[in-house]
Amino acid sequence: IPNTEKTNSDFIALSTIINEGDNVAFVYNHGTKGHNCTVSVLCYMESYLLHFVRSLSKLIREEQVVFGQISDEEWEIIRPSKQERKTKFLKMIKTAITSKDECNKCSQWKVQSAETWGYIYRTDFIPDSNDLLERRKYTMLDIGYWSPQDGFMLSDALFPHSQYGFRGVQLIFYSYHNPPWQFVSYNESGAPVISSGVVYDILTELSRKLNFTYTMVISQPAEINGSLIEGNTSSVYDLKTISSDIPQDIFSTLVNNKILLAAIGATVNEKQKKFVSFTDPISIQTYSFIISRPRELSRVLLFLSPFGPDTWLCLATAVALMGPILCVINKLSPYYEVHNKPTNIGLGKVNNCFWYIYGALLQQGGLYLPYADSGRIIIGTWWLVVLVIVTTYCGNLVAFLTFPKIDIPVNRVMQLLRNERGMTWSIRRGTFLEEILMDSTEPKYVQLYKGSQIITELGDDLVERIEAGTHVHIDWRNNLRYLMKRQYLRTDRCDFALSTDEFLDEQIALVMPKDSPYLELVNEEIKRMHQFGFIQRWVAQYLPAKDKCSGTGRVMDVQNHTVNSSDMAGSYWILLLGFVSGLFVFVCEFAFSRYRQYRASKVATVAYSN
């Protein structure tokens, strides 16, 4: 600032250009303009020569004192070198002339910096009697001065905030219980405090990097079943909390610009951006839905699984047609007529041809073989077909025995909307998902909202319906993981699975006052934490611990299977069916035989009577 002097240098007290968050330094002339401000170079030369002589004399006297107390040999050992003597000599001259400019009293420029960061938020300030209408926005710090003789003499950084951040000021933050972002528990004195959480870890890193301390005010106590959490545990997760719902008292302090930021993980909301500012996302939560874990399908008909219905139908048709074809070829072949062989025995009968074809399909031999080459070609071709069919069947059967067949799950939103199984679904009231679905014009989301049940909490009745496979619940994927963990701890079973479909990304961020000057600063630190992997590690730290259900989080997971008796139940049923069929045919044959005997005896009786 030019054209200033000591008499009117109080302009800073009346300045209105200094605002919260600024980095401002002032350099102005603090000297007094007298009648004679002529600066003579000769004056500086005389001053320098005078201090040169005095410093040299002082240096010689100090060395003479030491030299007079020791011998010549010892002096040769400890005497200073030329470089050491020159450095000490210049230091003595500089010390003598610093702050003692006698040649120019009209040009001494003072350097002051404004300490502005956090002044309207800090809790450790001392109220000023002249500051009754509003809190003080800054304090001027004497950084140093500049003079023609000494140059810049600074005792602190020219811009202290750029180097030291908030310079250790104490701030106040508001928070509330909202796992996994903020965990609230009792401390030793019985007061609720933020004990852990992703936001807590981020705030700790911010306070270290930006150099501030803070006091936390809990807006809402954390209640689970009517009591506060005793300490932090990742197994306890309150599914009633909603990140899109900022408590009114915290929102009011942000709108009134009373706190630097709210220590909460909140959903980025376009409507709330009119009143507050959101930082860059600290996490992105995706929505999925939880369903009953798909069960293994019945393995009674496992032996039919290698082939589809059309393949079995074609195979049955081939067996049914090959018998009559083989019989016709044998009867019409002139070979038997030439060689005078009967055609009404062996493969000349349709039933014998059928059983031969069926036995060949089961890789069993027959009692009869055709004599004619035409019949032998048909038999040989059938054996080649049987070889391919049996090999394919055996290979697929091994695969079906090893890997169990899982019921086709509902994995995607479109499968859920088709509702082929009559399933219902639910979403929580007041969530980001409900707001998006209400405002969406996409047909898929419109149908999803119209068919959904809006609930305030996930009760035990809905959990039972999910387990039964008649209901699904849509929520954050991490929330559903906690639900799976809670159900596992309760039942020691893996009853649930997550869908593979992830949709509607919800951004979670910190909340700051509107147009905060510190928004970019906080965003840079959040970006750095993302790049170093800090936030990802903190989020993973508060997820449920892995257990035996962790590998079944997705519905398509498959494990190797050991063949047991239930897998072979189908073959036992075939055996039983064959035995019953044989017994039934035996009874029919016996009844038919008795019937023929009865008819024969009746005919004989009538003939005798006649």
For residue 277, what are the β-bridge partners?
512
316: nearest Cα among 373, 357, 281, 272: 357
Name the token pair of 313.
């139908």
Q: Which helix (H) or strand (E) holds 252?
A: helix 248-255
Distance CA 130, CA 134 (A): 10
Spatial CA neighbour of 482 closest among 240, 303, 158, 314: 240
* C-alpha–C-alpha distance, residues 187 and 232, integer Å: 11
DSSP designation for 404: P
HEC readout, 41-93: HHHHHHHHHHHHHHHHHHHHHHHHHHHCCCCHHHHHHHCCCHHHHHHHHHHHH
Q: Is 470 annotated as a binding residue?
A: no
Beta bridge partners of 152: 146
CA–CA gap between residue 127 and residue 136 (Å, rounded): 8
Q: Tokens 């394919």 map to which residue?
A: 392
HSE of 262, CA atoms in CB hemisphere, 13 A: 34
**Nearest CA among 78, 81, 77 for reference residue 89:** 81
Largest CA distance in the chain: 176
Give the integer Cα–Cα distance in Å for 203 and 206. 5
Mark the binding-site residues, compressed into ranges: 267
Mark the binding-site residues for L-glutamate, compressed into ranges: 267
